[in-house]
């Protein structure tokens, strides 16, 4: 006899620092494009919207609060989705730059990378050769010699800002060591459960995207955090839907969106993050799983409520 269906959180990452505008004409760039893409994803079933911003003139990632201020109020007006503001920004930014939007707008949720890592985007130069803006090629080429800096001091500073603002975190773990880093802060009582762990697979410099990698991440998180965490799966590029499906079958929540993958199927660009939300929602519903609503997510993650943000 079937028990009550499990509720699955769909996070949608609208745009980010991995891809550049020349890679897909569907990647949202301007504040209106990003806000509209986020609203469409929420209406399709995403209960959490993970947000980066871009310079509307050239599409370069930016953490300028003035740009975010053109995005956030529109999303809040049109949806009740949980807004998750990046504190990662871009690996080319300083930690101070990366922290500005979350510090300014005091969201319910913010992302937090749980360790420094090599961050290799340069293999994309083998697939994309023509760029509209000079910064795009530099962005990829410079990643040959790039450490995405997230020291213990950096992480602690961001955690303290979150505590002051009542912001909780999506802990982005790109490798097994990042789970142990999180456990370090848990042991120091700088983080309270439930821990929302976003396992990131398939980016060069982090853990791979093999099913055994997924299982290793889950086994380790289970051992370290027991029943005090909520698990979510992020598969980069071609791994997006495959790993989301495998993870969901094993109890995970899922993350999709054009930040993580430009594709909807092999050789076909996704026209929007909404299309990826619809596809993963169909997969989840075929598994007889229910999609968590924003109000349910707020209870699951013990968030402070949309009325307590600063936008």
- pLDDT for residue 95: 87
Its pTM stands at 0.96
Q: Per the domain annotation, does 2 fall within a domain? A: no
Q: 112, exposed or middle or buried, with CB in 10 Å at 0-12, 13-18, 19+?
A: buried
Task: Outline where 45-175 has alpha helix (H).
Answer: 65-68, 72-78, 95-105, 134-141, 152-165
Q: Per the domain annotation, does 191 fall within a domain? A: yes
Helices and strands (DSSP H and E) totals, the chain:
11, 16
Dist. CA 82–CA 230, nearest whole Å? 16
Q: Per the domain annotation, does 109 fall within a domain? A: yes
Question: Backbone phi, then psi, for 61, in 5-degree steps?
Answer: -55, 140
Q: 132, exposed or middle or buried, with CB in 10 Å at 0-12, 13-18, 19+?
A: exposed
Question: Backbone phi, then psi, for 106, in 5-degree steps?
Answer: 50, 60
The tens-digit pLDDT sequence of the chain (311 residues) is 456 679 999 999 999 999 999 999 999 999 999 999 999 999 999 999 999 999 999 999 999 999 999 999 999 999 999 999 999 998 889 888 999 999 999 999 999 999 999 999 999 999 998 999 999 999 999 999 999 999 999 999 999 999 999 999 999 999 999 999 999 999 999 999 999 999 999 999 999 999 999 999 999 999 999 999 999 999 999 999 999 999 999 999 999 999 999 999 999 999 999 999 999 999 999 999 999 999 999 999 999 999 999 99
DSSP 3-state of 13:
strand
Q: For residue 17, what are the contacts with CB-CB under 8 A and spacing of at least 6?
A: 52, 61, 88, 89, 90, 91, 92
- pLDDT for residue 87: 94
Dist. CA 309–CA 311, nearest whole Å? 6
The enclosing domain of 197 has a CATH number of 3.20.20.70
Range of the domain at 149: 7-308
Dist. CA 83–CA 79, nearest whole Å? 10
Dist. CA 161–CA 214, nearest whole Å? 31
Total domains, the chain: 1
Q: Per the domain annotation, does 12 fall within a domain? A: yes
DSSP 3-state of 92:
coil
- pLDDT for residue 129: 86
Q: Per the domain annotation, does 1 fall within a domain? A: no
Q: Per the domain annotation, does 192 fall within a domain? A: yes
Q: Is the sign of the CA dihedral 142, 138, 24, 107 positive or negative?
A: positive
Dist. CA 52–CA 33, nearest whole Å? 12
């Amino acid at each position: 006899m079937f028990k009550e269906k499990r509720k699955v959180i769909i996070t949608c990452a609208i745009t980010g620092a991995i891809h550049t505008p020349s890679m897909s004409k569907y990647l949202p760039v301007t504040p209106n494009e990003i806000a509209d893409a986020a609203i469409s994803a929420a209406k399709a079933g995403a209960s959490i919207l993970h947000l980066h911003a871009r310079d509307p003139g050239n599409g370069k990632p930016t953490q300028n609060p003035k740009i975010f201020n053109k995005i956030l109020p529109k999303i809040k007006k049109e949806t009740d989705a949980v807004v998750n503001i990046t504190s990662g920004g871009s690996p080319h930014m300083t930690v101070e730059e990366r922290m500005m939007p979350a510090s300014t707008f005091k969201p319910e949720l913010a992302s937090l990378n749980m360790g420094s890592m090599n961050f290799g985007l340069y293999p994309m130069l083998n697939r994309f050769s023509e760029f509209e803006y000079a910064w795009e090629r530099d962005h990829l080429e410079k990643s040959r010699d790039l450490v995405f800096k997230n020291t213990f001091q950096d992480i602690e500073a961001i955690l303290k800002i979150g505590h002051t603002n009542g912001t909780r975190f999506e802990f982005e773990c790109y490798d097994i060591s990042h789970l142990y880093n999180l456990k370090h802060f848990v042991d120091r009582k700088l983080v309270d459960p439930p821990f929302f762990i976003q396992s990131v697979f398939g980016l060069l410099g982090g853990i791979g995207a093999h099913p055994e990698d997924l299982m290793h991440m889950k086994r380790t998180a289970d051992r370290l955090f027991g029943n005090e965490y909520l698990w979510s799966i992020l598969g980069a590029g071609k791994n997006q839907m495959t790993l989301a499906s495998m993870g969901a079958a094993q109890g995970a929540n899922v993350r999709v969106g054009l930040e993580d993958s430009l594709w909807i199927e092999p050789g076909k660009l996704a026209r929007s993050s909404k299309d990826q939300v619809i596809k993963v929602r169909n997969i989840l519903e075929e598994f007889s799983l229910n999609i968590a609503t924003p109000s349910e997510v707020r209870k699951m993650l013990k968030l402070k409520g949309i009325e307590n943000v600063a936008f």
